[in-house]
């Protein structure tokens, strides 16, 4: 059974399906009671919305039309499409051939809808993309700086000369193995990163391209 998708109320649906004999050869539908569509948990269904066109494309390749304006079809529901009492290769079968829904799925907003929502709030896409340290890109790059009660500033500098190392990734773990990360961030132009930690011993890990750090660095926060 194929899922056809989630459709708008009143939208017509066209789809095809195939029938075969036991050897896999395409065969026609000799006779049938047509298409019956079942809404949600209904067991009676309705034959009005669906129309079957036998061999519409080729022998054994059929077409089904679903009238989107039929009164049986409501939004907020799922539907099963059944070929009823069909004779195929001398066998009588009831065949579930498709599944669809009408306005019954959560749909991601379009790019236009997102832009309209941003502008309606008094902002703009350009403002959001400016990295001022308070916008979304800045917060993403900053990482999670911790939830503790103590403000702890870690400064990363060159071993020789003491020059600040900016834009380095720094993270703190509560174990020497580095498995439990409690805070992370990037150093600023002064080589500093601020974490919010509780009093304890932490293991500081550093990473930046072209640098080789001896990790971890042990720091006691009190």
Name the percent of the chain lying above pLDDT 70. 91
Is residue 6 pLDDT above 90, yes or no? yes
Same domain, yes or no, for 86 and 176?
no
CATH number of the domain enclosing 18? 2.60.40
Domain end among 72, 102, 132: 102
Q: Is residue 134 part of a domain?
A: no
Q: Is the pLDDT of residue 139 over 70?
A: no
Higher pLDDT, 135 or 183: 183
Rg of the chain over Cα atoms, rounded to whole angstroms, equals 32
Strand partners, 62: 17
Q: What domain range is 47 assigned to?
A: 2-102
Q: Report the pLDDT value the prediction gives residue 106, as an integer from 0 to 100.
A: 75
Q: How confident is the model at residue 111 (pLDDT cuts 50, 70, 90)?
A: confident
Pairwise pLDDT comparison (106 vs 154), residue with the higher score: 154
Contact 219, 209 (CB under 8 A): no
User: What is the number of structural domains in the chain?
Assistant: 2
User: What was the pLDDT predicted at 138?
Assistant: 45
What pLDDT is recorded for position 130?
Answer: 57
- What distances in angstroms separate CA 202 from CA 20, 166, 174, 214, one per listed residue? 68, 21, 5, 15
| The pLDDT value given to residue 113 | 77
Share above pLDDT 90 across residues of the chain, in percent, rounded to a whole number = 71
Domain match, 86 and 177 both: no
pLDDT interval class at 142 (50, 70, 90): very low
Inter-residue contact 68 to 50 (CB < 8 Å): no
Interval 52-77: pLDDT, tens: 999 999 999 999 999 999 999 999 99
The CA distance from 192 to 40, in Å, is 59
* Domain contains 132: no
Residue tagged 């306005």 (tokens): 103
Specify the CATH number for the domain of residue 203: 2.60.40.10
pLDDT of residue 73: 96
- pLDDT of 127 reads 66
What pLDDT score does 140 carry? 44
3-state secondary structure of 72: coil
1 has a pLDDT exceeding 80: no
Buried/exposed 49-62: b ≥16 CB within 10 Å, e otherwise: bbebebeeeeebeb
33 alpha carbon, distance to own chain's centre:
40
Residue 205: how many other CB atoms lie within 10 Å: 17
Assess whether 33 and 97 both reside in one domain. yes
């Amino acid at each position: 059974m194929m899922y056809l998708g989630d459709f708008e109320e009143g939208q017509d649906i066209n789809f095809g399906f195939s029938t075969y004999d036991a050897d896999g050869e395409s065969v026609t539908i000799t006779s049938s009671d047509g298409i019956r569509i079942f809404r949600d948990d209904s067991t009676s269904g309705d034959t009005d919305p669906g129309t079957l066109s036998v061999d519409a494309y080729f022998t054994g390749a059929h077409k089904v039309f679903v009238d989107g304006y039929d009164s049986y079809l409501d939004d907020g529901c799922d539907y099963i499409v059944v070929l009823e009492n069909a004779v195929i290769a001398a066998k009588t079968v009831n065949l579930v051939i498709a599944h669809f829904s009408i306005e019954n799925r959560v749909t991601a907003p379009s790019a236009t809808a997102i832009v309209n929502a941003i502008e309606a709030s008094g902002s703009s896409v350009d403002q959001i993309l400016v990295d001022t340290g308070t916008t979304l890109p800045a917060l993403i790059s900053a990482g999670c700086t911790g939830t503790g009660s103590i403000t702890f500033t870690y400064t990363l500098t060159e071993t020789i000369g003491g020059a600040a190392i900016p834009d380095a990734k720094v993270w703190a773990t509560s174990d020497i193995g580095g498995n439990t990360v409690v805070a992370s961030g990037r150093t600023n132009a002064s080589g500093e990163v601020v974490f919010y930690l509780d009093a304890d011993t932490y293991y500081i890990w550093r990473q930046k391209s072209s640098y080789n750090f001896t990790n971890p660095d042990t720091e006691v926060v009190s």
